[in-house]
Structure 1
Amino acid sequence: MNEERIALIVDDEPGHRMMVRAVLEDDGWTVLEADSGERALTVLAEEAESGTYPDVAMVDMKMPGMDGMQLLKELQVRRPSMPVILLTAFGSVGSAVDAMKRGAFDYLTKPADNDEVIAVLGKAFEYHRLLEENARLREAVSGEADFIGASPGIELVRDLIGQAGPTEATVLILGPSGTGKELVAEGLHRASNRADRPLIKVNCAALPDDLLESELFGYEKGAFTGAVKDKPGRFQLADGGTLFLDEIGEMPAPLQAKLLRALQEKTIEPLGSVRTISVDTRIIAATNRNLKKEVAAGRFREDLYYRLAVLEIRIPPLNERKEDLPLLVSFLLRRLGNKNNKIIRTVTPAFLDALSGYDWPGNVRELENVLERALILSRADALGTDLLPPQITGAREAGISIDVDPVFQQPSAPANLEEAEKLAIIQALEENGNHRERTADALGISRRTLQYKLKKYGLTRR
């Protein structure tokens, strides 16, 4: 692996530290050690002076002096983006689960299984890398209206904004509601030579037909009852700048013809006027409709569609770029925390897993609403699944997601969720030949969670 990975191991047992170090170094990690919580903070400070930081920390729960829970709290303050994995005896699993609710990334029971150590630390490193990438993206963008994410779909959107922004081309932005079409329009305007001129926005679906016409093209005194003075339209207000027509698919047919003429001739006629006004306005339009289908159905002018769609930019819905969720969650929590004067430094892995399992019909707008609700209701330093609405958590229980077989809906169904969970695990084991890793993948849980469930239900001998 080309990317350096640094782990901090905090354990008062030298033998266990030595074993974990050997396992990780064989996997290409750089390992730092500390025999106490106090020494771990010193190591962290020394590394900071040299300009390096651990990516992941593995901390023993039971240590003399500062224990694992106290160190977890300190690390969350000093390095909030660094995942912390707790080491615990099997009899103390309850304490480790409580620590995960407080923001620990995961836990391992001692003595830790070598493959499990590599798997859990690898997952934690990827989580940390995404958070660090989010921080770099925030520094790179010029404002909070920029897209957050590193998925191929979002990278393409950024690339198209960079290419189309400096041109005079008309751009049509496509995407479902809540994906951020307005943000793309703002990005195009900022990247253009018109950035120092106005960006005027009009929501075509929010205004009645007659009012929309007067808003776009303006009117002269006496044009209709109540027109007591001249009023410039949005085209004139955006002269030299950009006019963003949101929900263009809702525009009525008569106005489509008038808009087409304005685009072709770069002139407008205010209501009640016989004079023609020249305007230098760049048009950016957006819609959540399929305009090609609207054209085929006769609801949208074909010539206007081709005039608007010189370049099309499609924004992928959130369910097509779930790999961006950690970045989006981190960014949105920071912004929402500032807005609500309540700072949340992290979320539990189960919280992120629940978000990843949801389809997000409302896209980023829905995600933002869910996070704001969780932030407001939270009483801890980390957001847990108890703060998520039922439509997101669904059947998830204690970090495990189960697709219950239809047989469980029959009169012979198990009496409770635990019984259903046990039967689902047994079925998955049988279907995967008792292979633990394949069974965990089939259930959508980690191998550590599967091992815990096997012990809980007395299935370890299978």
Structure 2
Amino acid sequence: MIVVIHEAADQSRQIKELIEFMDAPQVLTATADNWRAQIGDSRLAAVFVSAGLPKSVQSRIFDGVAAIDCNVPLVVTGDGGSLSDKAAPWARILNLPNPMQIDELSAVLEEIWAVNVVRRSDTMAPGTELIGESNDMRMIRALIERVAPSQATVLITGESGTGKELIARQIHEQSGRTGEFVAINCGAIPEHLLESELFGHERGAFTGAQVARAGRFELAEGGTLFLDEIGDMPTAMQVKLLRVLQERVIERIGGTKSIPVDIRVIAATHRNLQQRIDEGTFREDLFYRLSVFPIEASPLRERPDDVPALANMLIDKVAERYGVRISLSDAALAALCDYEWPGNVRELANVIERLAVLRPHGEVQLDELPGAIRGDGGDRGEDDADAGVAESTLQLPDDGLDLKQHLATIERDMIAAALREADGVVQKAAKSLGLGRTTLVEKIRRHDLRD
């Protein structure tokens, strides 16, 4: 839900109509006094706040939003320069000047959507526990227990989908640090925004910076900052990160004050950093700073004994999300254990979710698995994966089905899975789906996936 808060009722209605014209669902107009009661238990996608409201009122609204979810984007409408001095250093604040232009509103709504994709709880992602009793998993648990109480910087390496963030969260939870676990994907944020996201900025530091904003380093004060996909960090940012690791101080963009930070840094990558050093795209001195304590996350193909436990955990997640519980026949489970899982746990999660959509009741048989997993699909690739989906849908239920709705459901879930894997980056998700960006944006609106 998007909430519009303005001191003038006619202005609220106009903004609401413009947002709805852009095909945004659930737009509510409210006042500074009743907005909290109006939204009830609805999930906030964004709050539009008039810049003309008194500072004290703005502060009250910001505090109310933070109490619900400090990751809700705030959109300041109008040209007033009286933004609250207390204006939420935690917040992602966007600006829409008067008169409001459709192209500017469209860009703001797209950014709101992208933020909400990242915010949305990924119900198919593994939980916070490390599942499995293989030797590799036991070794990882032992390393976590050893390094967690220290202040050592940790570098987690491994293929995509192996649970590197779960390892980082376990280190944080066992560290005794009282601050937050703050994560940022260095490869998912455009280079020109990454510095602001990490270090924050002062008011007036660049066009549109109407309020000062804390970066992830400050938000992680007393806790842990997780730098995911560190191998994709631009070289210029690597220099600044190296300085923070050495001196434990930061400077906001546009600021002159050095701000000390008490944080634990954990980095992760699926890249070969030594190769990147040889290519000149990753600094060797930063590599040694980060890899004080290295941990390697094993691919799923090297620990097939963990597949049954992981599959059961993911089936529980499916039951929570869809309200249906699938089961696996012995032959189907054996095929899952024998498969090499190039996409690791993330691929297993996608397969279990797909089976829940296509086979919402009963026991999944071997012939209902994708061909690549059954072992008769040849070399695995996108065509094989698509063929596996097609094969598993050929059995028509006895009571028939609504084909249009069935295909729409499959499309929606595939788009949602691509967006989760791309951390909400539309261009990246579009590429993985073989779609143009504009086409994907339209499908996102059609399937109401923006919030």
Distance in 2 between the 1:323 and 1:174 partners?
21
Matched, 1:231 2:213: yes
Deviation, structure 1 residue 387: 2.5
Residue 152 (structure 1) aligns with: 135
CA RMSD of aligned residues (A): 1.7
Q: Deviations over 1:258-311 (max 9, x none)?
A: 000001100001111111111111100000011112112211111110110010
- Aligned pairs for 1:32-71 within 5 A: none
CA contact (8 A) 2:153 2:265 kept: yes
1:368 aligns with 2:330: no
1:419-439 C-alpha deviation (Å, 9 max, x unpaired): xxxxxxxxxxxxxxxxxxxxx
The residue aligned with 1:383 is 364
2:304 to 322, 326, 346: 322
1:142-164 deviation line (CA, Å, top 9, x unaligned): x9311111111111111111111
Partner of 1:190: 173
Q: Does 1:313 align with 2:295?
A: yes
Counterpart of 1:216?
Answer: 198
Tell me if structure 1 keeps the 8 A contact 2:231–2:271: yes
**Higher relative contact order (Cα pairs below 8 Å, separated by 6+ residues):** 2
1:312 is paired with a residue of what secondary structure? strand
Tell me, in whole angstroms, the C-alpha distance in 2 between the residues paired with 1:282 and 1:210: 25
| Contact 2:144–2:170 (8 Å) recurs in 1 | yes
Written as runs of structure 1 = structure 2, the 5 A alignment for 1:68-107 is none
**1:369 alignment partner AA:** N
How far residue 181 of structure 1 moved from its aligned partner, in angstroms, is: 0.7
Alpha-carbon distance between aligned partners in 1 of 2:134 and 2:257, rounded to the nearest angstrom: 50
Q: CA deviation at 1:380?
A: 4.6
- Determine if contact 1:218/1:231 at 8 Å carries over to the other structure: yes
Gaps of 5+ in 1: 1-142, 402-462
Counterpart code for 2:334? D
Aligned residues of 1:170 and 1:283 also touching (Cα < 8 A): yes
> 319, 344, 355: which is aligned to 2:336?
355
**Separation in 1, partners of 2:360, 2:367:** 11
Would you say 1:294 and 2:276 are equivalent positions? yes
Deviates more, 1:198-207 or 1:292-301: 292-301
Unaligned runs of 5+ in 2: 1-125, 379-451
User: Is the CA contact 1:198–1:237 (under 8 Å) kept in the aligned structure 2?
Assistant: yes
- Are the counterparts in 2 of residues 377 and 387 from structure 1 also a CA contact under 8 Å? no
Percent identical across equivalent pairs?
Answer: 49
Match of 1:268 in 2: 250
TM-score, normalising length: structure 2: 0.54
Per the normalisation by structure 1, the TM-score is: 0.53
SS of 2:282's equivalent? coil
- Residue 278 of structure 2 aligns with an amino acid whose one-letter code is A
Runs of 4+ with deviation above 6 angstroms: none
Cα gap change, 1:308 to 1:379, in 2 (>3 Å): closer
Q: State the Cα distance separating 1:353 from its structure 2 match.
A: 2.0
Structure 1 residue 165: deviation in Å? 1.1
Are the equivalent residues in 1 in contact too, given 2:325–2:360 (CA < 8 A)?
no
SS in 1 for 2:349: helix
1:267·1:277 contact (CA, 8 Å) conserved in 2? yes
